[in-house]
Amino acid sequence: MDLSGRCAFLTGAAGHIGLAVAESLLELGARVALSDLPGEALDARKRLLEEKHPRRVETAPADLLDENSTRQAVGRALETMGRLDILIHNAAFVGTTKYPGWAEPLEKQSVGAWDAALRVNLTAAFVLAQEARSSMGVSNRGSVIFLASTYGLVGPDMSLYEGTSMQNPAAYGASKGGVLQLMRYFATIMAPKIRVNSITPGGVSRGQPEVFRERYERRTPMGRMATEEDLKGAVAYLASDLSAYVTGHNLVVDGGWTAW
């Protein structure tokens, strides 16, 4: 499994999952353009990764709510790296995102928050893949990976959240279900030059209330929540030639959560 000489573009790079994804690609020899909102968080992530992987980390800032900014970020990655072989859309509105009308009970969720979430979670995936298509097809080994969610496969069990301040916005699951269908669409029209797949993580342990974590773990065959490290192997597989005949596939990494 070797990605030496290949170049990747990664959204949501300043987040926890973004760090694990970037590390997985860099450890296999790829050069990576990190994309997130411009600012210190993105710059700090670049500095951190460069400590172990000097001269193989670039930045391509983008506001995924803005189409032009999103397209320009792909162009910047191409300018700095000279090619693009791997595209990973990881950025998303999640349960902890701070946005008016987002992480609220259903009756308080706003259309503005719904629209913004679909723009980042789903529309940006379309724009990025559309913009990168021609350059990724050059090598005949292109790989697009969308990060989805178990809530794109099943509905939420709201009893998990009782007694906590946590919420599960409707637009989150709707957008992630859309990501899975968009993946299948692109897989059929971008083949054979570009493969398009998705990774569906289960709940990632990240300081949630103990009562939520205990409930979640009781419902998970593996008996624990995921960590970011659990996703690195899935990224390595779908980005590399080990999955050369795999496209249109959703790789579920949820500890068995959706198995029952």
* CATH number for the domain harbouring residue 35: 3.40.50.720
Q: Name the residue range of residue 235's domain.
A: 7-259
Successive 10-residue mean pLDDT values, the chain, 260 residues: 95 96 98 98 98 97 98 98 98 94 97 98 98 96 97 95 95 98 98 98 95 96 97 98 98 97
Give the Cα separation of 36 and 41 in Å (integer): 9
pLDDT of residue 16: 94
| Domain assignment present for 27 | yes
12: exposed, middle or buried (Cβ count in 10 Å: 0-12, 13-18, 19+) = buried
Residues 218 and 201: their CA atoms lie apart, in Å, by 17
pTM: 0.97
Q: What is the pLDDT of residue 33?
A: 98
In a domain, 207, yes or no: yes
Count structural domains, the chain: 1
b/e sequence 156-178, b meaning 16+ C-beta within 10 Å: eeeebbeeeeebbbebbbbbbbb
Structure tokens that stand for 161 in this block: 């959240």
Q: Is residue 17 part of a domain?
A: yes
The reply to whether 1 falls in a domain is no
Single-letter amino acid code for the residue at 162: E
